[in-house]
Amino acid sequence: MSTTPNSQAAHASNTDANSNLDAARSCKVSASAQGAPASPAGKRPAPPCTLVIFGAGGDLTKRLLMPALYNLAVDGLLDDGMQIVGVNHGERETNEWVEDLHQSLQKFAADKASTFHAGKIDDNAWEWVAQRLEYMAGDFETPDTFARLTDKLAQAPGGNVIFYLAVGSRFFKPIVGHLGESGLLKEGAGFRRLVIEKPFGNDLASARDLNAHILSYALESQVYRIDHFLGKDTVQSILAVRFANALFEPVWRREYIDSVQITAAETIGVEGRGKFYEQTGAFRDMVPNHLFQLLGMVAMEPPNSFDAEAVRDKKAEIFDAILPLTPDDVVFGQYEQGPAGVAYREEPDVAPDSSTETYAAARVFIENWRWAGVPFYLRTGKRLAARRTEISVQLKPVPFRLFRDTPVGALTPNVLTLRIDPAHGTSFDFNVKTPGPVMQVGPVQSSFDYGDFFAERANVGYETLLYDCMLGDETLFQRADSIEAGWCAVDGVLHPKTGGALAVHGYAAGSAGPAEADALLAREGRAWRPLTTAAVEKK
């Protein structure tokens, strides 16, 4: 999360690496002087650096990294000395790779359903990016690749290099090992940073092992564990809603809040990723990372500043305070034949007797002074009734005594909903008197939509993360301790001591999920927020 220049300068004084970053900034060449778009007022281009993308031919590079780099170029936030080296298996010419990326970018820009829906590509901005692209064929597991990469990076602008691992998790350890052994992670005049995608381990033991391996070659300050959920403006806005408004923070605690629901629902199935999903499942894929990150933003104590370590310390405190989940706290589901399509077991590369969950719901408690006794309900799934990512904070009911002699059967709970995707905004449910001579109370909703106040921008969620990595701002990236705390909280579900693996309950494709997930809340007198409402479907 990019900060103001003053807070960036304060943060830069914390580490030698960021001192080098300031030096690089002071001698940078203006991108606008070379014909690139000028940077927005109040923002400066990132320092000159070389971005090395391992997995240059993969889907992540095409769908997310390249659109994000293009958007940063359009906004004038990349230095003219920027270079991008794509490393991938298989021989090909640079111009062939560049043309492949260009065609993908044009296709995504024209697709209104795509995350990147810019409409028409700005030819000048694309040409600026294209001139800085270079392809290098290489095996991720052989020393020769890294010897050639060492020669190529000898003249890296400012000595600054970012290594982005856009590869399958099985390549994380060999790539990091070869980078370390070849000396490419050693910082000198410039910075060396390592960006690692999820899945960061598949349980507590594997996460600890991966962290230990990485930190044997690099400093924690060099490692940027990325979670693309945190790149969304609507996720970062959670902190603004909480801490920039006197209306909310005084009641943001157990004395006033009944429960919190965090939902990440998808209408799509596994979309040809059956092999990956069979090894992962919805719970590992979403709960200890994406959904816990949203939980951390909602539940963290106010930091003293937006300095990266101040924010990450407060989030780490929350993850440490999560009570370990048990099998009684979790429900697994798998979609079956339904209105939205075929059963999961009929998808390509899925075992006909698969017990992999495509839906997971969990009840989470945070054992601290602010949240003790307040349940956080998390749910995520594929082939559900609606695409919807949101956080709903339900306040405790008011005493009903005042209304006992009026024709009011019940009062609608006050609920603040932070809408993250696909609609962007907030809504608040509350009660008012309906028109007429009788005291009759009726529910109403007040809402705010980003599109009504701010111009829509093509944004895939990686722009802020890439830009912050170049600046050395680690606010939106995960530390080793937080990663391990997240896995620790769910390890009792992944490796139950008794009873064996959790049962996986069926639900119809296109429904709201298994009935057992409803029962998880019903036993405490609560219910999930409906997935399909007019407010959500507005966008």
Cite the active site residues: 290
Q: Which residues pair with 201 in a beta bridge?
A: none
Alpha-carbon gap, residue 311 to 313, rounded angstroms = 5
Q: Which residues of 156-179 are buried (b: 16+ CB within 10 A; e: fewer)?
A: bbbbbbbbbbbbebeebeebbbbb
* HSE-up of residue 183 (Cα within 13 Å, Cβ side): 7
Q: How far is CA 227 from CA 90, 206, 232, 235, 270, in A?
A: 28, 18, 10, 11, 20
Q: Which residues pair with 264 in a beta bridge?
A: 380, 389
Look up residue 431 and give its two tokens.
Answer: 């009660």
Helix (H, G, I), strand (E, B) or coil at 388: strand
Name residues whose C-beta falls within 8 Å of residue 4's C-beta, 6 or more positions apart in sequence: 42
Q: Which amino acid is at 31?
A: A
Q: Are 470 and 24 in contact (CB under 8 A)?
A: no
Alpha-carbon gap, residue 500 to 503, rounded angstroms = 9
Q: Are 356 and 217 in contact (CB under 8 A)?
A: no
